Amino acid sequence: MNVLSLRTVCAAAVFFGLVLTLLPDGRERRMASLCATCALIILLLGHLRSIRWEEYAISLAQTREAAEKISSDANIDRDRMNRYVIERECEEYIMDKAEDYGLELASVRVTAAWHREGVWVPDTARLVIKKQNEAQRRLVSWMEAQLGINEAHQEWSIEESS
């Protein structure tokens, strides 16, 4: 239904509404109401006949496809955001624990991997320390026990002084 036909239907409805408000209560008003209703139905059915149903079906299918793509993109973005949050929180957690152990870290980078249970879990960690001490060994064990990052997936390096 185009804008012109929509305006026609609205104008007819307003006209019939005015006519009905001017008529006194009674039989004449009920008959006018019945006639106005029939006229509006006929007007609407006439406009429905002018709709190109093939174009409408194609447009509806395109809209459905666009909605599915938006939903899919939103799910992908949500998964990426969940992964990012988990990685950043693990990095902060490791930095805090290293500070508790008295180990100075220059940087920490955690990478999460998709687990078969349907969640992101910390998988690898790259740590740069300012200087080695015995606290490094405790942090290695702690990351393995608390975060599930195996020692084999922990990459340690010493910050180079300039």
pLDDT tens-place string over residues 23-34: 888 898 899 999
At 54 the pLDDT is 85
Tell me the pLDDT band of 3, cut-offs 50, 70 and 90: low
d(CA 149, CA 140): 9
Judged against a pLDDT cut of 70, whether residue 52 lies above it is answered with yes
> What is the arithmetic mean of pLDDT over 111-140?
89
Fold for 86-158, please state it.
Answer: GMP Synthetase; Chain A, domain 3 (3.30.300)
Sort 123 into a burial class: Cβ within 10 Å, 0-12 / 13-18 / 19+: middle
Average pLDDT, the chain: 88
Enter the pTM of the model. Answer: 0.55
> What is the arithmetic mean of pLDDT over 112-137?
89
Judged against a pLDDT cut of 60, whether residue 4 lies above it is answered with no
d(CA 38, CA 14): 15
At 5 the pLDDT is 72
pLDDT tens-place string over residues 83-97: 899 999 999 999 999
47 three-state secondary structure: helix
At 69 the pLDDT is 92
| Domain spans, the chain | 86-158
> What is the arithmetic mean of pLDDT over 11-23?
90
> Which of left, alpha, beta for 121 (phi over 0: left; psi -120 to 50: alpha)?
beta
> What is the arithmetic mean of pLDDT over 52-60?
85
